[in-house]
Amino acid sequence: MKEKNMPLELVNLAFKAGSLIMNIYQKDFGVNLKEDNSPVTIADQKAEKLILSALDDIFPNIPVISEEAYSIGFVPKFDKKFFLVDPLDGTKEFIKRNGEFTVNIGLIEDNIAKLGVVYAPEKGFMYFCDENNNAFELKIKPNFSGSISEAKRIRVNSSRISDLTAITSRSHNNQETTDFLKDYKIKETLFAGSSYKFCLIASGKADIYPRLAPTCEWDTAAGHAVLKAAGGNIYSLDGNELTYGFKEKKFINPSFLARN
């Protein structure tokens, strides 16, 4: 049997989820609150159902830890290799209709982000990486057929010292983040939602993203893999690379710095 091309499969799955999300985005939709008071919409729920069903069909031996399933108490048995999925990252941005939301599908091996796909459907861009440590940006055209042959290779900006472009969270910025950036030579600060921020660093449009407010592993895994393949990384504030699979910590990341 022919071995599956995982990046291609994940790109096409993210596209399908993104198309479903956009169908809802263009209509009226309700907003509910989860137990942690974070918002959830029918787009989150339907996109997750689509992704979980497809992953179970395509990669049945790889467990999937997903945001909405976790929010109702479901965590599959997992070991060294598993997917982390956020079917709609940036629900607040989705609700605000500013386009800064993404579909995140990341593969973890031995606690490390290995592969990832981030799709920003309203922006029309797909970001992904392959097994050979290459990162790509793909402009999704209206007649997208599932091919990734037109994807272009991306790399982080080579400047790591001065005249940096910072990017911070549109909905979760705080004074601690502003103070943190005073230690760097920043020429400009951008604001964006969701894992789209990692993709802007990966493609050289930004250089540094401090996150000093809570995130979960499914928020970062896919973007982390893409950023690493593009030459950057995400570090916890003790200087170690961000790692994954910590059920005992409720899959909550420590504060971190993503950079070129």
246's tokens = 């910590």
Same domain, 120 and 43: yes
The residue segments making up the domain with residue 132 are 6-153
pLDDT of residue 237: 96
Same domain, 126 and 177: no
User: At which of 86, 120, 153 does a domain end?
Assistant: 153
Same domain, 134 and 20: yes
CA distance 58 to 101: 25
Same domain, 91 and 203: no
How do the residues of the chain divide into helix, strand and coil, expressed in percent and rounded to 5? 30, 30, 40
In angstroms, how far apart are the furthest CA atoms of the chain?
A: 55
pLDDT of residue 172: 76
Strands 112-120 and 102-109, sheet pairing = antiparallel
- The whole model's pTM is what? 0.96
Same domain, 132 and 211: no
Residue entry with tokens 């995140």: 104
Cα 18 to Cα 1, 105, 124: the distances in Å are 29, 12, 10
Same domain, 10 and 131: yes
Of 126, 103, 226, the C-alpha closest to 258 is 226
Residue 159 inside a domain? The answer is no
CA distance 103 to 19: 10
pLDDT tens for the chain, residues 1 to 260:
456 899 999 999 999 999 999 999 999 999 999 988 899 999 999 999 999 999 999 999 999 999 999 999 999 999 999 999 999 999 999 999 999 999 999 999 999 999 999 999 999 999 999 999 999 999 999 999 999 999 999 999 987 777 999 999 887 778 899 999 999 999 999 999 999 999 999 999 999 999 999 999 999 999 999 999 999 999 999 999 999 999 999 999 999 999 99
| Domain count for the chain | 2
